[in-house]
């Protein structure tokens, strides 16, 4: 039984008045002293403040802890973590207060483990021995191998898990017979309980072939990897002495193949240098697809890296990379010499890292990759690339108020460029000395106790000189609020909040601000402006998400309370009043009425790579959104073959159908998605050259929601949207290692972008990237 009291005991009068201590005893679930557990101390900002082990009696001590509030975790030999007291997350862990001059006692007992057990067989019922079963849960994974009878058993702390079966050659499936983790069955492990998770090896196909070099001779030890176009998964193989390989198991679908030489040089089938140029190969259940590959012609680069006196620099890292970011590495010997063999013919850049100073430079004698020389590698020829270590310089960083120009005394700066650095000051300036010459990004973070916003700047450092850069920073404001259970008024800890610009509803990737043990929220700094608050009580069991309204929660951002932040001031937001959660479930069908798998169902329009915490439909088209407050919620549906759309089949969030959620119950909402129409066109630079790599985003001109999205990897694009609709189009293009973010037509942001009317029959829209 856990002792869940935190007791502060008086320490001797000689104790340090700034520090206290934490001591305690950890027992097993049966009451015996725990062993083999690491005890970790973190502050409430997740910073690591110490780690100790247990003695033979299960006791631990942190002898000198600065007065403040902390959390304590216990990590077992399987690297599973629980928190005081008997909690499974940082957010729900008890806050341990350390008082100066006192010893705080934290006694706890380990949660009783549960078990997942199962048997793995093939389609004929034959047990599969030696299969690694891995259960992924709240704090990573725990695994074990199947025995001769195909059985495995995993001991796990209580929680929810999905089980992956690793079947060899990099191929795996999730129980039951699923290619992707989000479609896997969730197994709930309770203390002392046992859950059965059997599975049969999924029906698969295979890929096999032969790899030869440019002269037709077998290429041995080539690493061959496959990647599914839809899921990103796959499997791997190596060629034998005859150049033959086989990838024995692959889920049915379309794949691209990557071939990597032992030296690291890489190409894609057939004879392509980049993923987006690669051919696709179809795999069917029970069939073997033959993919033979001829390696492209190769040459070599060799040379020396020397100091200003001409002496060789040993142990320097040298990198050669092509236009497609394929890289190979080497180290210089004691004479400064290096060599790259088997480089695929083409253009390369070469960089050198000095082992003493850590400075990076590029051939020939420049600090930034944009200025590097293009090195042509030709077939069967060694190209010589020598370089000399650049002399260092210095960069002095200061910070000023962007309005008054007054200097800031306390801040930190992160340096990114030919050299890297991170320093903090309380004396108005930071000097980075002995850094490489070249261009830098300077990221400045004011002292966390202030309301100043972080900012960045650029600077160019010259050899044998000191460059000054003053970074202006904006004075922001703050929001405070309290989080309470509506029914009881009790404060709730661990409730996390996202701040969203008023008038929009796109949620960020996570909610970074969380309530403390008293239910208090302190959100700072924020740029002056108007905001909405979105609350997700991820770890506060039983409570539902909400947009914060004037007198309680709501399911629609349009009904949320507008909170105004003023520079240098703290704004009190409405109290966050939590209600018990409910859920929404349903089936998503396509325009042809077929159930759709892998459709994302979200509470907001999702930007690529951001806001990814949402469920997908399973193989039967069913989804379930849990943890919702008892309000009326619109849902956003995302499928590659249909236009992005809100519930009710609309691109306009303001008129979307809202599904009423009831506490403790599950509402049902089915939808048949609309196909929509397409915006199509070309994307080129100012010189008229195609730009093959770009994200295209269609924003609703009314709500700013992202209602169309397309990753473009060719000369033209097609982006599906619902129509008729008014949109603004944004593109994020990648040209020669540069990211260019722009809006149509010559816009710099949403407000200045041109509004485009998209009729039901679609529209052609050619885009010009503002770069040559």
Task: Judge if 143 and 181 occupy the same domain.
Answer: yes
Task: Give domain status of residue 1, yes or no.
Answer: no
Looking at 242, 269, 294, which one is the last position of a domain? Answer: 294
pLDDT of residue 538: 64
Predicted confidence (pLDDT) per residue in 137-156, tens digit: 877 889 999 999 999 999 99
- Burial letters for 248-276: b for 16+ Cβ neighbours within 10 Å, e otherwise? bbbbbbebbbbbbbeebbbbbbeebbbee
Alpha-carbon Rg of the chain, whole angstroms?
Answer: 30
Predicted confidence (pLDDT) per residue in 501-557, tens digit: 998 888 877 777 888 778 899 999 999 999 999 998 865 468 999 999 999 999 999
Task: Judge if 531 and 596 occupy the same domain.
Answer: no
CB 206 within 8 A of CB 212: no
**For residues 396-416, average pLDDT:** 95
Task: Give domain status of residue 686, yes or no.
Answer: yes
CA–CA gap between residue 418 and residue 353 (Å, rounded): 9
Task: Give domain status of residue 756, yes or no.
Answer: yes
- Tell me the pLDDT band of 392, cut-offs 50, 70 and 90: very high
Task: Give domain status of residue 565, yes or no.
Answer: yes
Cross-strand pairs, 330: 318
Percentage, residues of the chain above pLDDT 70: 96
pLDDT of residue 11: 44
Looking at 657, 672, 687, which one is the last position of a domain? Answer: 672
pLDDT of residue 611: 47
pLDDT of residue 5: 47
Task: Give domain status of residue 157, yes or no.
Answer: yes
Q: Is the pLDDT of residue 56 over 90?
A: yes
Cross-strand pairs, 351: 319, 362
Number of domains into which the chain is organized: 8
- Tell me the pLDDT band of 14, cut-offs 50, 70 and 90: very low
Task: Judge if 84 and 12 occupy the same domain.
Answer: yes
Q: Is the pLDDT of residue 1 over 50?
A: no
Task: Judge if 559 and 621 occupy the same domain.
Answer: no
Task: Judge if 574 and 557 occupy the same domain.
Answer: yes
Task: Judge if 487 and 571 occupy the same domain.
Answer: yes
- Grouping H, G, I as helix, E, B as strand and the rest as coil, residue 771 is coil
Cis before 570 (ω within 30): no
* More confident of the two residues 737 and 424: 424
Q: Structure tokens of 568? A: 């240098």
Predicted confidence (pLDDT) per residue in 358-375, tens digit: 999 999 999 999 999 999
Task: Judge if 696 and 762 occupy the same domain.
Answer: yes
Least confident of 621-630, 646-655, 762-771: 762-771
Task: Judge if 602 and 570 occupy the same domain.
Answer: no
Residues 6+ apart with CB under 8 A from 92: 83, 493, 494, 539, 540, 541
Q: Is the pLDDT of residue 8 over 60?
A: no
- The single residue listed with the structure tokens 């557990």 is 37
CA–CA gap between residue 523 and residue 508 (Å, rounded): 15
pLDDT of residue 715: 74
Closest CA to 52 of 83, 75, 71: 75
Q: Is the pTM of this model over 0.75?
A: no
Looking at 429, 457, 473, which one is the last position of a domain? Answer: 473
Report the CATH number that the domain containing residue 661 is assigned in CATH.
2.60.40.1120
pLDDT of residue 609: 47
Task: Judge if 650 and 727 occupy the same domain.
Answer: no
Positive or negative torsion for Cα 199, 205, 207, 208: positive
Q: What is the mean pLDDT of the chain?
A: 91
pLDDT of residue 456: 95
Report the CATH number that the domain containing residue 366 is assigned in CATH.
2.60.40.10
Task: Judge if 287 and 358 occupy the same domain.
Answer: no
Task: Give domain status of residue 499, yes or no.
Answer: yes
- Tell me the pLDDT band of 685, cut-offs 50, 70 and 90: confident
Task: Judge if 17 and 97 occupy the same domain.
Answer: yes
CA–CA gap between residue 35 and residue 436 (Å, rounded): 50
Q: Is the pLDDT of residue 479 over 50?
A: yes
pLDDT of residue 10: 45
Task: Give domain status of residue 68, yes or no.
Answer: yes
Percentage, residues of the chain above pLDDT 90: 77
Phi-psi region of 371 (alpha: psi -120 to 50; beta: other; left: phi over 0): alpha
Task: Judge if 723 and 742 occupy the same domain.
Answer: yes
Which structural domain range is residue 184 located in? 114-200
CA–CA gap between residue 661 and residue 659 (Å, rounded): 6
């Amino acid at each position: 039984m856990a002792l869940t009291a935190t007791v502060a005991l008086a320490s001797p009068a000689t104790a340090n008045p700034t520090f206290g201590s934490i001591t305690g005893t950890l027992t097993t679930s049966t009451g015996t002293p725990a062993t083999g557990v690491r005890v970790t101390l973190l502050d409430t900002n997740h910073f690591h403040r110490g780690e100790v082990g247990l003695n033979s009696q299960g006791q631990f001590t942190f002898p000198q802890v600065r007065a403040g509030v902390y959390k304590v975790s216990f990590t077992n030999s399987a690297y599973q973590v629980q928190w005081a007291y008997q909690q499974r997350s940082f957010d729900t862990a008890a806050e341990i207060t350390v008082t100066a001059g006192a010893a705080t006692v934290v006694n706890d007992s380990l949660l009783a483990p549960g078990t997942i057990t199962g048997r793995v067989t093939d389609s004929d019922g034959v047990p599969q021995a030696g299969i690694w079963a891995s259960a992924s849960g709240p704090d990573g994974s725990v695994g074990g191998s199947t025995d001769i009878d195909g059985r495995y058993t995993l001991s796990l702390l209580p929680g929810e898990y999905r089980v992956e079966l690793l079947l060899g050659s990099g191929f795996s499936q999730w129980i039951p017979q699923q290619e992707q983790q989000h479609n896997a069955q969730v197994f709930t492990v309770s203390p002392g309980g046992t859950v059965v998770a059997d599975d049969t090896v999924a029906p698969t196909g295979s890929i096999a072939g032969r790899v030869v070099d440019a002269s037709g001779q077998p290429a041995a030890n080539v690493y061959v990897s496959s990647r599914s176009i839809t899921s990103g998964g796959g499997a791997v193989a190596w060629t034998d002495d005859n150049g033959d390989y086989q990838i024995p198991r692959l889920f049915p679908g379309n794949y691209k193949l990557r071939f990597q030489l032992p030296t690291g040089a890489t190409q894609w089938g057939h004879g392509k240098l980049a993923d987006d140029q690669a051919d696709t190969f179809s795999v069917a259940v029970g069939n073997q697809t033959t993919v033979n590959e001829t390696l492209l012609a190769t040459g070599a680069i060799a040379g020396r890296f020397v100091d200003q006196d001409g002496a060789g620099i040993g142990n320097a890292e040298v990198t050669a990379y092509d236009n497609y970011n394929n890289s190979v590495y080497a180290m210089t010997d004691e004479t400064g010499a290096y060599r790259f063999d088997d480089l695929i013919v083409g253009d390369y850049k070469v960089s050198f890292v000095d082992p003493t100073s850590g400075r990076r430079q590029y051939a020939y004698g420049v600090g930034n990759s944009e200025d590097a020389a293009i090195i042509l590698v030709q077939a069967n020829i060694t190209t010589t690339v020598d370089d000399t270590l650049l002399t260092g310089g210095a960069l002095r960083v200061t910070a000023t108020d962007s309005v008054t120009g007054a200097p800031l005394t306390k801040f930190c700066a992160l340096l990114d460029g030919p050299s890297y650095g991170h320093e903090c000051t309380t004396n108005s300036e930071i000097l980075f000395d002995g850094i490489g010459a070249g261009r830098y990004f300077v990221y400045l973070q004011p002292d966390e106790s202030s309301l100043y916003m972080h900012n960045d700047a650029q600077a160019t450092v010259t050899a044998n000189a000191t460059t000054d850069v003053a970074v202006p920073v904006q004075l922001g404001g703050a929001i405070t609020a309290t989080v309470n259970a509506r029914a009881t008024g009790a404060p709730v800890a661990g409730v996390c909040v996202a701040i969203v610009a008023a008038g929009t509803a796109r949620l960020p990737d996570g909610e970074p601000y969380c309530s403390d043990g008293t239910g208090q929220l302190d959100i700072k700094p924020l740029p002056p402006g108007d905001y909405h608050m979105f609350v997700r009580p991820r770890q506060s069991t039983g409570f539902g998400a909400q947009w914060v309204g004037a007198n309680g929660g709501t399911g629609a951002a349009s009904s949320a309370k507008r909170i105004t932040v003023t520079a240098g001031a703290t704004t009190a937001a409405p109290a966050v009043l939590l209600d018990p959660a409910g859920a929404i479930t349903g089936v998503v069908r396509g325009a042809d009425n077929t159930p759709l798998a892998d459709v994302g169902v979200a509470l907001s329009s999702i930007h690529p790579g951001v806001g990814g915490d949402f469920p997908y439909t399973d193989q039967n088209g069913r989804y379930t959104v849990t943890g919702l407050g008892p309000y009326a919620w619109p849902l956003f549906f995302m499928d590659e073959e249909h236009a992005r759309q809100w519930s009710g089949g609309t691109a306009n969030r303001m008129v979307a159908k809202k599904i009423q959620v009831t506490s403790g119950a599950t509402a049902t909402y089915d939808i048949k998605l609309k196909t929509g129409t397409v915006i199509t066109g070309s994307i080129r630079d100012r010189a008229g050259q195609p730009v093959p790599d770009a994200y295209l985003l269609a924003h609703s001109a009314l709500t700013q929601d992202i209602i169309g999205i397309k990753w473009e990897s060719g000369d033209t694009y097609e982006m599906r949207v619902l129509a008729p609709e008014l949109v603004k189009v944004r593109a994020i293009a990648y040209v020669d290692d540069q990211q260019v973010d722009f809006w149509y037509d010559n816009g710099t942001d949403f407000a200045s972008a041109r509004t485009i009317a998209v009729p039901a029959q679609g529209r052609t829209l050619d885009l010009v990237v503002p770069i040559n």
